[in-house]
Structure 1
């Protein structure tokens, strides 16, 4: 079993090699704008999960998934030659939901800002139920007030 540091290094190198392989090996026009976002390698270096995003609509995502599956063997060969380790990890492609999650978070932040603005507007219209300053103030002695006036 490899240590975590080696698995991390293999994952980073696999990410770079995958990006190069997509650029040089895959000549299918259906691939579109694919970005390798992350690669995770198991501790024994036998399996690599490649996370990717695709710019475009759902049809573009499906086409990119088909192309990646079709070129899996060639990409694995390219990664194996570049890594130079005894066993080449198997590749699994997973569509990363990062852009959708980011859009959802942006929508939530926009809704929160809208509600905050509504609360601020309502807060300006409200008045105190009693006096503006409800705390008691200490009484000033008569001789202190006379000394202050002199």
Structure 2
């Protein structure tokens, strides 16, 4: 096993050599818009994988894959000549999926933004289903409960409550009670 730093440096060097070879030495018209994006080398430095992208449609990608397979030996010999290592790694070309993945992520983000806008519009027009503070009891509700329990109706609940409190303190019957002392 080689040092990971050495493998990384060799992979970077192979990427540069492959890109330069495809640009300057190979005269195949099928390699029009090829970009070498990355290269990786196995731990034993015996195999190298070169990742590439192609600008164009599916037919351009297929033609480029065929052309890269044809020039694989030339790229390997250039790697061996320029690196000077004991064993020249075999070179495989693999189409890089980064552009497709990036386009897919952009589509997902675009749909997420659209759904966020819909939620924001729905939230702006929405009303709360209940009271803002459902645990806070309004004072008017307490007065209504007291009236229904007493069986009477009071026009002004707060004044009736005060007069009832004064009457019960003085020992007199309240508005809801009858005088049974007589």
TM over 0.5: same fold? yes
C-alpha separation in 1, matches of 2:127 and 2:45: 66
SS for the counterpart of 2:53 is strand
Deviation string 1:36-77 (CA, Å, 9 cap, x unpaired) is: 111010011000011100000001001111111111111111
The Cα shift of 1:24 comes to 1.2
Aligned-partner SS, 1:44: coil
1:1-150 mapped onto 2 (5 Å cutoff): 1-134=1-134, 136=136
Per-residue CA deviation, residues 1-33 of structure 1 (Å, 9 max, x unaligned), is 211111011001001111111111110111111
Unaligned runs of 5+ in 2: 137-182
Q: CA RMSD in A?
A: 1.4
When normalised by structure 1's length, the TM-score is 0.87
Q: Distance in 1 between matches of 2:5 and 2:134?
A: 62
Q: Which has the larger radius of gyration?
A: 2
Aligned counterparts of 2:20 and 2:92: Cα–Cα separation in 1: 17
Alpha-carbon offset, residue 135 of structure 1: 6.2
User: 1:48, 1:129 → 2: CA distance?
Assistant: 63
Question: 5+ unaligned residues in a row in structure 1: which ranges?
Answer: 137-150
Distance of 2:130 and 2:2 partners within structure 1: 70
Determine which structure has greater relative contact order: mean sequence separation of CA pairs < 8 Å that are 6+ residues apart, divided by chain length.
Answer: 1
